[in-house]
Amino acid sequence: KKKKLGPMTECSIPNALIIGTGEYVSGYVHGSSSTSDKKIGVVALVLFDLQRRGLVKRISMAGTDGTKFPHIREHFQKKIKEVYKGMEVEFDSYPADDVACDRNAYITSLDSMKKGDLVFIFTPDNLHFLMAEAAIRRGLHVLVTKPIVQTLKEHAELRKLATENNVLVAIEVHKRWDPIYNDARQRVPSFKDFQYFYSYMSQPKSQLITFKSWAGKASDISYYLNSHHVDFHCWAMQDLAKPVRVTAMASDGIAKGEPYNCDTEDSITLMTQWKNNKSNNLVKIIVEERTEESGWPRIRNETQTSEKSREKTRD
């Protein structure tokens, strides 16, 4: 029997820690405000608003370069506090402002939290498991940006740890909250056999500069962008169909050239064969059975991410 939740008390309001200080968190990159559509970030802004509404208490932020924090605070002051009424932008930071590099600062920040507090992880993909594991073992609830991890083994381990430590662990796949995507997902179960799915996402080449530190080293464009539509399609196909084979193809050349000099792929296409649970029917053309394609080779325009998707079922 479900218990009715009462009003939040002062002692039940959690503190919040953000691990990561990049564009999606703060909107501050390479010494200035981002030129993308995330000029003031997303994660910190949302937490400042939740704090304003009394839903979180202390906000902390952990990175590796403490000398960035005075600039981030100035950025928040100008872009958020002086723009949004009643919005405070104070936060504790790790490492200290005079520390140029401390890759273990997130450990110190986690130790400052209490059980039941919240942790938001927005770092390069290869660090997600390590940081989420450390937070879970301390009894902290965790939200990790997509992809939550890079291997099935790590995924299973986080799930096991979350159960053992009685905490919530979730992946931030915000397409699920998009009204258009949510509407499509609600319609799919009423259709017949799944037959065709196609999706496309791209980002401007300028983002290669933003992500140069990890692109092609710690992760790739498929983990970073394809994960959106991989998640959406698997979500829509629950109990209806299952994947039985996957292959991938890539193209390169643009990222490796000037001025990016990134040894990474320009685009990666996933082709997956699915089988319908009831009929056992397969999609006829493997390349079109399911294609999640993402890439960098797009000129800058007013939108940071370009995307489209299409799903078909049998009549």
Per-residue pLDDT of the chain (315 residues; tens, 9 = 90+): 545 545 556 568 999 999 999 999 999 987 878 777 788 999 999 999 999 999 999 999 999 999 999 999 999 999 999 999 999 999 999 999 999 999 999 999 999 999 999 999 999 899 999 999 999 999 999 999 999 999 999 999 999 999 999 999 999 998 898 999 999 999 988 888 888 888 887 777 777 776 777 666 777 777 777 888 888 888 999 889 989 988 888 888 888 888 888 888 888 888 888 999 999 988 643 333 334 445 555 555 544 455 555 555 554
**The overall pTM is greater than 0.95:** no
Res 117: pLDDT: 98
Give the pLDDT score at 8: 58
DSSP 10: G
**What's residue 289's pLDDT?**
33
> What pLDDT does residue 295 have?
55
Dihedral pair phi/psi, residue 164, rounded to 5°: -65, -35
Q: Given this model, what pLDDT does residue 290 score?
A: 35
pLDDT the model gives residue 69: 97
Long-range contacts of 99-108, Cβ-Cβ distance < 8 Å, separation of 24 or more: 99/65, 99/66, 99/67, 100/65, 100/66, 100/67, 101/64, 101/65, 102/64, 102/66, 103/64, 105/62, 105/63, 105/64, 105/66, 106/19, 106/62, 106/131, 106/134, 107/134, 108/62
Residues 157-204: pLDDT tens digits? 999 999 999 999 999 998 898 999 999 999 988 888 888 888 887 777
Angstrom distance (rounded) from CA 309 to CA 315: 19
